[in-house]
Amino acid sequence: MSESRSSNTPPSSPELEAPVTRRYFLKRTAVVITAVAVGPLLAACGAGAATSIPSIGGSPSIGGSPAASGGASSSSATATGTVTLGSNHSDAVPKAALQSVIDAFQKESGIQVAINTVDTTKFQDQISSYLQGTPQDAFTWFAGQRMRFFAAQGLSAPMDDVWAKIGSNYSVAFQTASKGDDGHYYFLPFANYPWAVFYRPSVFEAKGYQIPKTFTDLKTLGDQMKKDGLAPIAFGDKDGWPAMGYFDILNLRLNGYQFHVDLMAGKEKWTDPRVKTVFQAWAELMPYLQPGGLGRTFEDIGVSLLQKKAGMDYTGMFVAQQFTNPSDLADLDFFPFPLMGTQFDAENGIEAPIDGFMLSKSPANPDAAKALLEFLAKGSTQTLYHQSEKSDIATASDADTSGYAPLQKRAQTIIASSQRITQFMDRDTRADFAGANGMQAFLQSFLSNPSQNLDPFLSKTQSFYDSLGPLG
């Protein structure tokens, strides 16, 4: 997708009009994760329930009858015409990478693809109204509770017939992460990437810094970085979502995976004393976060690390998009968020969101849309995408990883070695709670005053959740 869209691109859907620029949030392609390593664990909360692997009751088998599994029979071999795609790949690198894939699909199939590219934040904020209006045939989205919710509301069409053809190219973990609560397939994984602490090895070597293994080590390192004139941890939450990653990882470290996913699902309370310990630990970390964070965007914090004004950055691997110079990219590495000396250290939990594609509820050209999905599931397709997009890794089992950059190889390792994996707060919990009037606002309130009395703060948070009522 270039900045000037091709002439076959339709006008933007009225529900999702936006500039074709800005960041590409919570992106992309996934690693081949063995079922032994994370098969039972790669899961996000379902609509009101935590979902775990290996199975969802009533799920259709891979290779079973499409009619029996609830999806209309795919006719990709004879599909023709134009398929429309709603895309949040608005930043230059992923936009160009996706366009290379679309070009290859058009050449191979003869099917034309009309893309409506929308700024990622706007896409996410308006997704509900978009899907209830006149969406494109297929659209980019994420695994997690919100995918399951849209499926349960009938806002996305099942794709069991597609999965009957492609299922053998995905691990059990990815298969399960692609199912709705009814056991049918609604999602096609295309990308996966970890959240971790990113740093410049050249800076660490020049200053004699060591990778922190514990939370105490992290704070000690932060003290030294401040003495050296660096902001220890680049930070910005003007966009509302980056701070969610801090809560998630601190909760995983202190209280473990099960409590975290249950909290996201509403099965645990925000007034639980365990939640209070998360914010207390976060308050300890605040002196090491770059000041003025509420006025700093995601791009700004990546630039701080790039320019060596900050020593570290806890973020997703998409930060690599800021490192456009090959020599800078070669000087970017990461390590897992340090352990905190709890019984949950053994889980080694991380956030590793999965991005991909879904079908709208009533695609105008379903055969062409399914042909596109089948093409996106091929390892060769995902390999083509990653020839230019180096900030995530492929999901298809037969993707060629020999050309991976060192950062991508490290991502494979860290994901495979983690015993518990979550998606991200605004994917793992309900949308009306995670949004601008919910957790975004509550977390920014905490960031503005981390020394505040946490009891009323958490009571307000729980009261807001309770006021939302049941999903659906």
Kindly report, residue by residue over 378-429, the tens digit of the pLDDT.
Answer: 999 999 998 888 888 999 999 999 999 899 999 988 887 888 889 999 889 9
Cα atoms found within 13 Å of the Cα of residue 132, Cβ hemisphere only: 5
Pair 252, 420: CB distance under 8 Å: yes
- pLDDT tens, 204-252? 999 999 999 999 999 999 999 999 999 999 999 998 999 999 999 999 9
Backbone torsion region of residue 236, taken as left when φ is above 0, otherwise alpha when ψ lies between -120 and 50, otherwise beta: beta
- How many whole angstroms separate alpha carbon 18 and alpha carbon 87? 11
**DSSP label at residue 59:** P
Angle between helix axes 273-285 and 242-264 (nearest 10 degrees) is 170
Residue 55 has a pLDDT of 25
Label residue 123 by pLDDT band (50, 70, 90). Answer: confident
CB-facing half-sphere around the CA of 353: CA atoms within 13 A? 26
Q: How confident is the model at residue 262 (pLDDT cuts 50, 70, 90)?
A: very high
pLDDT, tens digit, 9 for 90 and up, residues 289-327: 999 999 998 889 999 999 999 999 999 999 998 898 999
Can you give 88-118 as a three-state secondary structure string?
A: CCCCHHHHHHHHHHHHHHHHHHCCEEEEEEC
For residue 375, pLDDT beyond 90 = yes
In the chain, helix, strand, coil percent, each to 5?
Answer: 45, 15, 40
Q: Looking at per-residue confidence, does 336 or 176 come out higher?
A: 336
Residue 19 has pLDDT above 70, yes or no: no
Residue 262, C-beta contacts closer than 8 angstroms, at least 6 positions apart? 50, 268
Quickly tell me which residue has 């060596």 as its tokens: 308
Query: pLDDT (tens digit, 9 = 90+) per residue, 186-200?
Result: 999 999 999 999 999
Q: Which pLDDT belongs to residue 206? A: 98
pLDDT (tens digit per residue) in 26-49: 333 333 333 323 333 333 332 232
β-pair type (138-142, 82-87): parallel
Q: What is the pLDDT of residue 122?
A: 83
Interval 440-453: pLDDT, tens:
999 999 999 999 99
pLDDT, mean over the chain: 84
> What is the pLDDT, as a whole number, of residue 28?
34
Structure tokens at 189: 């994984």
**Token pair belonging to 213:** 């293994």
Q: What integer pLDDT is reported at residue 471 of this predicted model?
A: 73
Cβ neighbours for 291, distance < 8 A, ≥ 6 positions apart: 231
Q: So what's the pLDDT on residue 76?
A: 60
